Amino acid sequence: MTREDPLTAPFRFQAERSLGKLAKWLRLLGFDTTWEGDPQAAATAEAVARILLTRTRRRLPQPPGAHVHFVAANDPFRQLQQLVAVLGIQRSDTRPLSRCIRCNQTIVAVGREEVRDKVPDYVWATHENFNTCRRCGRIYWPGSHTRRSLDRIKSLFQPVNEGDCERRSPNGN
């Protein structure tokens, strides 16, 4: 497979409107993920091959070469577990907390002084490291939400007992 193949790491995704929370988690993992519900998606989507993630069965018949994955689970974390298992995503394929969850752009480190008037006083006084999205201006810092997200991501790649997984056939039964 070539690098342009969407099934080759780095994975790139296009999530349909109903999969917004899954798109957010994929961005948290560092994957380039566009989402149909994002008002900037049309303007920012690159002309690259992507794996289409859908919960709509009628979207499954696609032309040859198209990569479409039906997401069976309802819970966003179970959806993520399904993708990791089916696509063979490895921990080494991820770059956690490297993308803006709002607009999908790569975030960059910024100096503390740059964000002084842009974050709450307590946050500025108690944190040394900040990142920002150059497109939308969102600012990120390592807080309790970061630890919880990283713990969740770590659990995603831990071995699972076979009895802990929900089994479904491809037709959803």
Residue-wise pLDDT for 2-43, tens only, equals 334 555 557 999 999 999 999 999 999 999 999 887 765 544
Which pTM value belongs to this model? 0.80
Q: Would you put residue 104 in left (φ > 0), alpha (ψ -120 to 50) or beta?
A: left
**What integer is the mean pLDDT of 158-171?**
50
Cis peptide, bond prior to residue 10, ω within 30 of zero: yes
Rounded Cα distance between 78 and 167, Å, is 12
What is d(CA 11, CA 3) in angstroms, rounded to the nearest whole number? 10
Task: Supply the mean pLDDT for the chain.
Answer: 83
Reported as a single tens digit per residue, the pLDDT across 87-117 is: 999 999 999 999 999 999 999 999 999 999 9
Amino acid at 109: A
Residue (of 100, 102, 5) closest to 50 by Cα position: 5
